[in-house]
Amino acid sequence: MEDTSVNASTNSSVAARTDVDYKALYETSEKRRKDSQAALTPTQQQLATLRAENAILRENQGPAVVNKEEQSRLEDLKYSDPEVWRTEVNQQEALQIKQREEAIATKKGEIISEMTQEEVTRRTKEFFASQPGIDPKVVINSMPPALHDLIDSGSVTLEEALQKGIDLVRGASTLSVLAPKDPNLSQVAGSKAPTDAAKQSQSNQDWGGQLL
């Protein structure tokens, strides 16, 4: 099992050994991640598919098991009514193909989950390796659910979210950390077209200025 311990400290003069649960960071995000494949490259996704197919192939090396009664019925049907026999055989083969595809999809999901966790752990370690004097455990534990939501939605990268976690530890407000980088000004209160009330107010000011 991989050692996920790193040497880190919030005090740069003290090198305290801290056990960091990178898996906890991944699991918090993964519970709400709709498509964990987004964290992997196309090559990694293809590798996951091949690994899943090979795993299912190893698990189902033998022919499909058919009970003796069903086998006997099909043998009789093969000669008594070949058309019905062929239809039933085709249905069974289609069912087996469907079950195999579902098994591969399930296995692929498990493999992708493992690969995604490994990818998150690797990137998180690399990020904190470039942040001397920062305790990863403190930062990860300080990250609120809303920050994980930003990761899941793709609004921020993993590294950007970790940096926001550092900002929180250093005293930044949650509101400022979670604020969008480029606010949509079109959604801010106000409009190019003034309201009737605004027009009336401006008119009153203009006439009032002339009467003074």
Q: What is the mean pLDDT of each run of 10 residues along the chain (212 residues)?
A: 37 44 68 58 86 88 69 86 88 90 90 83 90 89 86 82 92 85 45 48 45 40
User: Is residue 26 a part of any domain in this protein?
Assistant: yes
Q: Can you tell me whether residue 7 is helix, strand or coil?
A: strand
Per-residue confidence (pLDDT) for residue 188, from 0 to 100: 39
Output the pLDDT for position 189.
Answer: 41
Residue 32: the pLDDT is 52
Q: What is the pTM of this model?
A: 0.55
Is residue 184 a part of any domain in this protein? no
| Chain centre distance of CA 206 | 57
Q: Distance (Å, rounded) from C-alpha 204 to C-alpha 211?
A: 11
**Cβ proximity of 88 and 74 under 8 Å:** yes
Domain that holds residue 121: 11-174
Give the total number of structural domains in the chain: 1
